[in-house]
Structure 1
Amino acid sequence: MELWRQLKQAGLLPQGLGPPPTALMGVPPAGRDDQTVMSPGPDNGGARESLLWIWEELGNLRRVDVQLLGQLCSLGLEMGVLRDELLDFLEEEDEYEESMVEEKDEDLEEEEGPLGACCPGPGYRLPDFEMTI
């Protein structure tokens, strides 16, 4: 199955998960199913019809299983793409936040001026203030 191979190549298969059953990976047998199961012979009280019905239902279940496996593989590939997009978005957001912090620091330096200008040398005291009411 092509989607399974793509999923495996993308590294999106969980560790320890083996390949799907060969019945789901192979091409369904061609021809009529009843020819494969039953050979001509006497009818044993409806057993042939029951067996044909069971064989047909198993074929239907197999087709559904193959469809579900394909859908799961497609979903896994889509999730891998979304994960990559999310990681790219988060990296861009981090870069943007870092640039905003740098700009903010630069703006503060421009407003306050150099550190020595706001704090006079040693021995300098703030003036005492008195309030008269």
Structure 2
Amino acid sequence: MELWRQLRQAGLVLLELGPPPQALRGGSPVESTGLTLVSPGAGPGDTRESLLWIWEELGNLRCVDVQLLGRLCSLGLEMGVLRDELVSILEEEESGEEEEEDEEPQGK
């Protein structure tokens, strides 16, 4: 996942996290198996259709998880940029204060 790689390159991923789970890196299991899915049947004995429906729902949940991971990565990258900007602002303020302190003793 491209955003995850960017997040890692920016140093915003804890080493303990490791890579995203395989389920979020690969394609949908529905796409890879080529199954035609249907909603569960009314009959209690229609196990195959029920299993296919569950498989489809798991695929839908995976898609949502991938979207959420992408959004979290984007937010992480934005937070990294904001952190860098804040550090720059604080450094500028600090250097401005040091210059003021240096000027005061000369005026006395």
TM-score normalized by the length of structure 2: 0.81
Report deviation, 1:10: 1.1
Unaligned runs of 5+ in 2: 38-42
The CA distance in 2 between the partners of 1:33 and 1:75, in whole Å, is 34
Kindly state the Cα deviation for residue 3 of structure 1 after the two structures are TM-superposed.
0.4
Cα distance in structure 2, aligned partners of 1:31 and 1:16: 30
- What amino acid is the match of 1:24? L
CA offset digits 1:55-107 (Å, max 9, x no partner): 11101110011011111111111111111111111100001111112222222
* Counterpart position of 1:16: 16
Mapped partners of 2:25, 2:97: distance in 1: 48
For 1:26 and 1:9, how far apart are their aligned partners in 2?
21
Hey, what does 1:48 align to over in structure 2?
A: 48
**What count of residue pairs does the alignment treat as equivalent?**
102
Q: Which has the larger radius of gyration?
A: 1
1:34 alignment counterpart? 35
Moved over 6 A (4+): none
2:89 corresponds to 1:66: no
Root-mean-square deviation over aligned CA pairs: 2.2
CA deviation string 1:19-51 (max 9, x = no partner) = 11112112335377534x8xxxxx982212211
Residue identity matched to 1:104: E
Is there any run of 5+ residues in structure 1 with no aligned partner, and where? 38-42, 110-133
Distance 1:57 1:45 in 2: 20
- TM-score by length of structure 1 reads 0.67
| Matched residue, 1:96 | 96
* Residue 78 (1) aligns with residue 82 (2): no
